[in-house]
């Protein structure tokens, strides 16, 4: 993978941003590789949680400005905005709980990546911001939707409209991060949180994530269809319906 690494430790998948020489600025190739990493995690037997972290002195400064600023409006739409949404929606929709371990800075698209995770842990020296208005643009990868869901509309407007950077204690107070860790320990704390999740019943954990997201309006139709399908999967009606189709006869549905 191009600047995205994937490792497995016991029941935890580790997805690592590996472009430290460019401050983990996100590129289209990295977005595609994030999608591939989540797809692999979805099918990897035994995995129960994911942790997203980064090499180098900070988590991510966001989208690589040297790439997106040179795109035409149409290329910007198809190669940049759409790809980022696909990547971050894939992270948010992963059946496994996802934890982001932040350090240094998480800015713009880097913070939007963290917002797509279920839980966030940050080193005590981490700063976070959506600074796009200071460049004359707006958050483009879900920040205006996910940030209000997490910190509320007023706090989200404060961050988006002022480009304000907030520190880790403020982020914890606002509910943006779940825990603040001593400097240099966010990944270890995230691993510990993942271990607590892995110790629980995995099907119940995955359903709990799905129902909470569905109740908040996130892919509600998918949640309802999944639960309905699971409910009918064990019925004798379904068993006889399939048998009747194969035998080319009329099914004998009995409501159980």
- Catalytic sites, residue numbers: 112, 132
Residue 100 contacts residue 119 (beta carbons within 8 Å): yes
**Alpha carbon distance 46, 86 (integer Å):** 25
Cβ contacts of 35 within 8 Å, gap of 6 or more = 86, 87, 90
Torsion angle in degrees (nearest 10) through CA of 194, 196, 200, 204: -50
Residue 52, beta-bridge partner list? 15, 100
């Amino acid at each position: 993978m191009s600047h995205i690494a994937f490792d497995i430790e016991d029941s935890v998948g580790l997805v690592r941003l590996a472009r430290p020489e460019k401050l983990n600025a996100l590129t289209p190739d990295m977005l595609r590789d994030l999608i591939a990493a989540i797809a692999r995690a979805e099918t990897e037997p035994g995995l129960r949680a994911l942790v997203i972290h980064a090499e180098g002195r900070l988590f991510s400064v966001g989208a690589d400005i040297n790439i997106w600023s040179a795109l035409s409006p149409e290329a910007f739409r198809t190669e940049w905005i759409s790809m980022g949404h696909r990547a971050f929606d894939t992270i948010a929709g992963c059946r496994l709980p996802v934890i982001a371990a932040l350090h240094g800075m998480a800015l713009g698209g880097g913070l939007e990546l963290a917002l797509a995770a279920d839980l966030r842990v940050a080193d005590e020296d981490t700063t976070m911001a959506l600074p796009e208005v200071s460049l004359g643009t707006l958050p483009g990868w879900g920040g205006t939707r996910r940030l209000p869901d997490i910190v509320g509309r007023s706090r989200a407007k404060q961050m988006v409209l002022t480009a304000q950077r907030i520190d880790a204690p403020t982020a914890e107070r606002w509910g943006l991060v779940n825990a603040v860790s001593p400097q240099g320990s966010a990944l270890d704390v995230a691993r510990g949180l993942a271990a607590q999740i892995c110790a629980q019943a995995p099907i119940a954990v995955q359903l709990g994530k799905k129902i909470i997201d569905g109740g908040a309006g996130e892919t509600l139709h998918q949640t309802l269809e999944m639960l309905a399908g699971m409910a009918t999967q064990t019925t004798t009606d379904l068993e006889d319906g399939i048998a009747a189709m194969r035998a080319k006869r009329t099914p004998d549905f009995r409501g159980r």
